[in-house]
Structure 1
Amino acid sequence: MPLDLRDDDELIDPTVHCSDCEAVCCRLLVIVEPEDRVPRGPADADDEGLVVMARSEDGWCVALDRQSMSCSIYELRPDTCRRFTMGGGYCRAIREDYRRTAAKSIPHVLVDAGL
């Protein structure tokens, strides 16, 4: 049975795991809702006044612990992050989109093989 790519995440692919991903979800824009309990540091207002998870200069969520590649505010993460299901439709779709995009951005380098 093919996997469904609906955003409702009813079908989970058990072979998809965060440990073999480049934390693609941690590069997405995450709007912090008023009912979220995110600490002040990781949340920031954008140019339009929306409160969003702050991102570092290279685009990663500032709450991402880069040593462990896990969320440093996991218990207080925004509802948007809580609803993001590992292996769900949206997870699989953005991973695939990232793979296609990243593949296009890798520079082609010719290496002299000494032949």
Structure 2
Amino acid sequence: MSKIEAINLPAPGVTCSNCHACCCRLEVMLLTDTGVPERFVESDAWGGQVMARLDDGWCAALDRGTMMCTIYENRPWVCREFEMGSYECVTERDEHM
């Protein structure tokens, strides 16, 4: 492969195996009822419901061993819309890695 061909190759994509769950550091507002267990719900300073975060800033529903969501089937709407590999995802990864 020539250097020019190598330069034009797309960057490796974000996958479950290399994700690092950077978005799990963001504040997540609960806008719809998806069945998030109450133990993961907190109120913010304005009375809105948000996903609980631990002292280290990570989402309380994140399994630290696997870096995967423990409530994936009941994750908030915002988490469902935050697409892996999207511009927003890549931007978050760049800021936190």
TM-score category by the smaller chain?
0.7 to 0.9
Which residues of structure 2 form unaligned runs of 5+?
A: 1-7
Q: How many Å separate the matches in 2 of 1:14 and 1:84?
A: 19
Identity level (%) = 46
Separation in 1, partners of 2:60, 2:73: 15
In our comparison, the structure showing a higher alpha carbon Rg is 1
The number of equivalent residue pairs is: 90
CA RMSD, 1 decimal: 2.1
Q: Secondary structure at 1:19's aligned position in 2?
A: coil
One-letter amino acid matched to 1:98: H
1: CA distance, partners of 2:96 / 2:65: 21
Tell me whether 1:82 sits opposite 2:80 in the alignment: yes
1:66 maps to 2:29: no
Report the equivalent of 1:17: 15
Distance, in Å, in 2 between the alignment partners of 1:27 and 1:64 is 10
Structure 1: unaligned runs, 5 residues or longer: 4-12, 100-115
Higher relative contact order by CA 8 Å / sep ≥ 6: 1 or 2?
1
